[in-house]
A and B are shown apart, each in its own frame.
Chain A
Amino acid sequence: MCARVASYPQKLKLHLSVLIVLSWCMIATPWRHAFAADASPRVTLTVSQATPRQVEPLTQNAVLRDYKFAWANLAQALESNSAGAINGLFVGDASAQLVAQVNGQKKNGLSSRYENQTHKLEAVFYSPEGDILELHDTAEYDFEILDGGKSIHSEHAIVHYVVLMTPGADRWVVRQLQAVPRF
């Protein structure tokens, strides 16, 4: 009986340890979520190299907004295996490729994650009539492939994309998203 009753200093140590662990959990959990699974891509755009037409400030804002949404939707579609998220901001070949990828993942029980995305966009061509915009995107993200919830591949990837965007009715849409080894 005496062996089962902890002495006063031992109890104090136990309480302190529990308190420290709980405090650490409370402090660390929100930060972990904030940095480990930041779903909103960070996008910056440089337009000084764009030719033959200069990219207007309103167009810059729209491209930034829509490219950011496009990648958020791409990440959501490939994580949840739902092609619906792709609609609207990807069209043509870019949309067809993503839909095929989602369907392939769904068929094989796979999913993939793009987290902590950072995109450095540089406009390199803006057509005279303002209807075709070509961009170079240096993207950085944590990429993970899962098979039935089990991670089979994870990496911190830096990928270069050549992007074609065109104006739609009320937004800029991605027509081509092609990864290249270098620009």
Chain B
Amino acid sequence: MSSLTSTAWKNRKSPLIFALLVVCAAAAQDTPLRVPSNAVAGAPATVGTSGSGAATFYLVGPAVSLKRDVDLGKEVALSSKELQSAGRYTAVLCSSSCSSENFFVSPGKPVDLAFVVHPSRVPVGENAAISGVALTLDEYRNLVLAPSSVQFQWSTKGAPAMSHSAQARDGIAWFRTSSGKSAGPLQISAALSNDVNTRRVVQEVASIPCNLRIQGQRTPKGVLVETEPVRDCSGNPVPDGTVVTFTAKDSGGTSFVDAPVKQDVARAIILAKGSVVISAASGVAMGNELRIGGKE
């Protein structure tokens, strides 16, 4: 700076530049604030001041707006509570005039994970049906933007656990996977290298019915028809309430009866006196045809 001013002074051809340099040099020397250069959220820090006499110190940033009387020349202590939030802070010092400096507080180390998993229930055998997003957070719930490794793991009872390692980028790591073969709770966890672990559960349920088979017999009230235990293509019993539609064709025409699955089986009584052909369907699955002869 001084060499530049002296050069400008020697040349004396650019008085404006010289004046600007002098002003800049004066401004640089008179900055009475020294803000922290590597502040971390939740860690106390100090702001240095120069000069002498009384002044008012202000700090404005995320979650904080404070005003404090200070003595110039002494350091202003900022508590851990005042610097809990990561972000941009403005420190202002006013005595006869005001001067200010901005500084950043960076997030601390990741000690928490916000973990969102979808869906809460999923049919078995669905491709790329389950996804999870983990957000890396520090002690004060600031998003930790520095890269960190997140280990996702998922397992069902009686099956080996599967895992996927992802690098959090801008505080976010994610995974996607297919649902398994058997119904039951799927335990999913996201873990940081420092043993921070968050668990979620996705209920894997049977998929749509597969291979319907029906049987029936004539009773005094009509034809009692019922399915064999209704299962999906992986052999999981379908949930109660799954609707099976029975279709009956006789000389009088076609009639339909909807029956919910209860304890793996759907039952219905079809009012038909003559010979009748009964079939069943649920979703895209069709059952066998059943012929029952007429009886008085």
Contact = CB atoms under 8 A, between A and B. Distances in A.
Interface in A135-181: 143, 145, 147, 152-153, 155, 157, 159, 162, 164, 176-181
B43 interface: no
A176 B62 CA distance: 11
27 contacts: A96-B63, A97-B85, A98-B62, A100-B64, A101-B62, A101-B63, A104-B66, A105-B60, A108-B66, A108-B67, A109-B67, A112-B60, A125-B172, A127-B116, A127-B174, A128-B133, A132-B133, A134-B172, A145-B90, A147-B67, A152-B58, A152-B98, A159-B88, A178-B62, A178-B143, A179-B62, A179-B104
A38 interface: no
Interface in A91-136: 93, 96-98, 100-105, 107-110, 112, 124-125, 127-129, 131-132, 134
Interface in A6-25: none
A180 B174 contact: no
A173 to B, nearest CB: 15
Interface residues of B, number: 38
A176 B143 contact: yes
B171 interface: yes
Contacts of B48: none
Contact of B58 (A100, A110, A125, A180): A110
A74 to B, nearest CB: 11
Interface of B: 56, 58, 60-67, 85-88, 90, 92, 94, 98, 100, 102, 104, 107, 116, 118-119, 131, 133, 135, 141-143, 145, 169-172, 174, 176
A131 B119 CA distance: 12
Contacts, number: 112
A124 B119 CA distance: 23
B90 A153 contact: yes
Nearest to A166: B116
B88 A105 contact: no
B67 to A, nearest CB: 4
B200 to A, nearest CB: 13
A128 B131 contact: yes
B174 A145 contact: no
Given A101-B63, A104-B66, A181-B104, A127 B131 contact: yes
A73 to B, nearest CB: 16
A102 B56 CA distance: 20
A101 B65 contact: yes
A4 B46 CA distance: 66
Which residue, of A96, A108, A153, has the highest number of chain B Cβ atoms within 10 A? Answer: A153
B118 A131 contact: yes
A174 to B, nearest CB: 12
